[in-house]
Amino acid sequence: MFFAVNMLNNWAFAFDISVPVHIILRSFGSVSTMAAGWLKGKRYSRLQVFSVALLTVGVVVAAWADAKGKGKSMSTSKLDLTSPSFEAGLLVLLLAQLLSAYMGVYVQEIYEAHGKHWHENLFYSHFLSLPLFLPLSSTLQRQYHRLTLSPPLQLPSSLTAPLPSALATTLAKTPTSVAMLMLNAVTQLLCISGVNLLSANTSAVTVTIVLNVRKLVSFMFSIWLFGNKLSGQMLFGAALVFGAGALYGWETSVGIKRREGGRKSVESANGRARKEL
């Protein structure tokens, strides 16, 4: 399931889905995760439901603005999965979000039943996914070969001077794209480790909401670094998405404080009752 979710999220780029819209649409995960949690018997406050509904509106506004900017219709009556169409990309991302929602609730149940051993979950979810890449080995080899054809990495002398000569020589011979791939792997490791640690200590919905904050950073980097052009409607949709995430986080923190206060009151009342006995 972990393998399928990540492959679908990456496959969406093969369709007419831009990086900013990909980030915004993946924020829809909080809605599907809340729905999956509700089906499992979990309950949420009205403000939490409202914030997720507001997030959904933001997702729809952003998706509509992107399709309109590209002169495409949102209708799926003429959907052709064999062409790189925007509508097909939406369906791929929707399937990924549904699987991700179920996986999030399932992982939460595992932590509750067997303990919060997030290191084990991190290891096995990646290790057991490796054999699934075997059918894609030829494609991966071709893509890696293309990376090796990039120019050598060029670093300022001020950075390479303090390094050992062997390491500096290796870096100078490393293709730029390969170095970027290694750097991306390191940042992905830090990210997924934080996500697993967070999921072991909070609910699945809270995890998806917190990830929206990270997506905001990625969203802004996508604009500034890659020159993506965004319309006013798309920016409005993004503001709704991330604003709703902040609202949900605030309501959740208030709810935790209320539960802690209620628990302390009960414990205090029980203590007084025992003293009277």
The confidence score (pLDDT) of residue 155 equals: 80
The confidence score (pLDDT) of residue 275 equals: 61
Cα–Cα–Cα angle for 218, 105, 135, rounded to 5 degrees: 70
Considering only residues 76 and 183, tell me which one the structure prediction assigns the higher pLDDT. 183
Backbone angles phi, psi at 75, to 5 degrees: -70, 140
Tell which residue, 77, 74, 78, 71, has the closest CA to residue 25. 74
Per DSSP, the three-state class of 231 is coil
For residue 33, pLDDT over 80 is answered with no
- DSSP for 123-183 reads HHHHHTTGGGGGGGHHHHHHHHHHHHTSPBP---HHHHTTS-HHHHHHHHHSBHHHHHHHH
Residues 88-127 have pLDDT tens digits of: 888 888 888 888 888 888 888 888 888 888 888 889 988 9
Tell which residue, 105, 140, 120, has the closest CA to residue 10. 140
For residue 36, pLDDT over 60 is answered with yes
What value does the mean pLDDT take over residues 125-146? 90
What value does the mean pLDDT take over residues 57-65? 72
pLDDT band at 195 (very low <50, low <70, confident <90, very high): confident
Q: Which residues pair with 152 in a beta bridge?
A: 175
Mean of the per-residue pLDDT values of the chain: 77
The confidence score (pLDDT) of residue 186 equals: 93
What value does the mean pLDDT take over residues 55-66? 71
15 CB-near residues (< 8 Å, 6+ apart): 84, 85, 86, 88, 89, 92
pLDDT band at 79 (very low <50, low <70, confident <90, very high): very low
50-54, 103-107, 177-181, 270-274, range with greatest mean pLDDT? 177-181
The confidence score (pLDDT) of residue 138 equals: 92
Q: Where are the domains of the chain?
A: 2-116+201-272
For residue 171, pLDDT over 80 is answered with yes
Alpha-carbon distance of 110 to 210, in angstroms, equals 21
* Sign, Cα dihedral of 32, 105, 197, 264: positive
pLDDT band at 76 (very low <50, low <70, confident <90, very high): very low
Per DSSP, the three-state class of 230 is coil
The confidence score (pLDDT) of residue 277 equals: 58
- Proportion of the chain above pLDDT 90, given as a percent: 9
CB 55 within 8 A of CB 241: yes
Considering only residues 17 and 10, tell me which one the structure prediction assigns the higher pLDDT. 10
Tell which residue, 9, 50, 3, has the closest CA to residue 29. 9
For residue 3, pLDDT over 80 is answered with yes
For residue 42, pLDDT over 70 is answered with yes
pLDDT band at 219 (very low <50, low <70, confident <90, very high): low
Q: What is the pTM of this model?
A: 0.65
Tell which residue, 234, 208, 248, has the closest CA to residue 29. 208
pLDDT band at 235 (very low <50, low <70, confident <90, very high): confident
Considering only residues 198 and 209, tell me which one the structure prediction assigns the higher pLDDT. 198
What value does the mean pLDDT take over residues 173-182? 90
